[in-house]
Structure 1
């Protein structure tokens, strides 16, 4: 029973980690909590849904196109909604992020109607039995895709010119600008990468649960934010760790017969982390001159 719930929790935590990575990347560079991020996850699920059901694409091409579409959407959101407010106070930008979130939710609801849609099964799935443990090919697929995307992100951040620019801007944007780094382009690249990862998570959730709807991004978006805070918001490995911790915890709570309390447990963990270690598990205290 424990091993079974651990497997379920790792699959769920991998999805939280993908969404949390977008939160933590954006916060690490411009100190913005992008509350529209969970709705980009929803848009990605719907893009893949229409590509598979209307254009009869297979799962992986639909996944890649959905990631590209949401990367473009992320850049547009940053350029239209956030860039003009970059020098304003954080509360103004936060309210704008909430407004963008509502726009995406109810805009999608207007065009596709609020009814849940059955996500099409694009390939045959199997269950593997190992003793008393059941491992679904869905779990394996989610884990492999999530792991591959995290490894690619790690390579991009640590080994590419764009990744080095992102790290420089997150450390000191003014100094990075003086060194010839295009800060605006770097911020747009950050939104593009984070939105693509959120889109991948949305497609995986649609495949896993077999159902999507225009409001599906609200709770996963909040929980991914919790995961980012648990790991240390602004720290990329911390987002992955926080997502896995949250997913495994929820799986054990549900497995114990308290599925109605799993959301409450997630927010309780957030409160405990903020009281005990506000910087998160992998965060460090930083002195700031006043």
Structure 2
């Protein structure tokens, strides 16, 4: 009879461990997907920002040495992503191709100017910073005019802020759900062993001594769940990389390192804290309260 009961208890305990692992793995997988979305949304936003150019139109009859010095100066500035020098002849060919006819035949002369397309780093693509740069460039004796798409920059900045805000809200919401679900799963597994906790306490074991094996057991289950979640997340990333190779998911080692590290730390912290407070609750209960 005793062996049968012990076997039943063992199966019940194993079943609770499996449910805890599955619950934690699913939650961590969800957190991983959300984390990947957050990381790549920043990359995508920066990608679009760095496609916006500020064009510096040069004055007529500027010497080649002066142009080269200006290009060298711009290339060394912290805000510069890349620069492209466009001569007025190249600009005329591009414009003629766009309108479908050679406008130089009607005008006789080329009214366009040599220009430098300045592509900024993502941090500098904001209405305020680009306006400050424009003011500084207007003071340069070599530059006749500075042009960039102000409405586009304003719209891009507003949309990125709006998307980032809602992603942050969504992250907090799912993070709270993750904590609640993992905490509930661990508490249920410890609830099944509440009588063991109280028995150990009654024979003189300290709270720290009682808690220690439960915490290590939960951390082990959390690490197993983390491995399962990472395998699932790796599979998703592999197939997403095939569908959208431009995102470079597999080659973005920095983002992947942050993602994996974040999931491992999250699993460790939540399982440790949940187990600590769950065992503390049962340690503080009276014997007759264990039945409720």
If the length of structure 2 is used for normalisation, what is the TM-score?
0.21
- Which entry has the higher C-alpha Rg, 1 or 2? 2
If the length of structure 1 is used for normalisation, what is the TM-score?
0.21
Greater relative CO (CA pairs within 8 A, separation 6+)? 1
- Higher strand fraction (1 or 2): 2
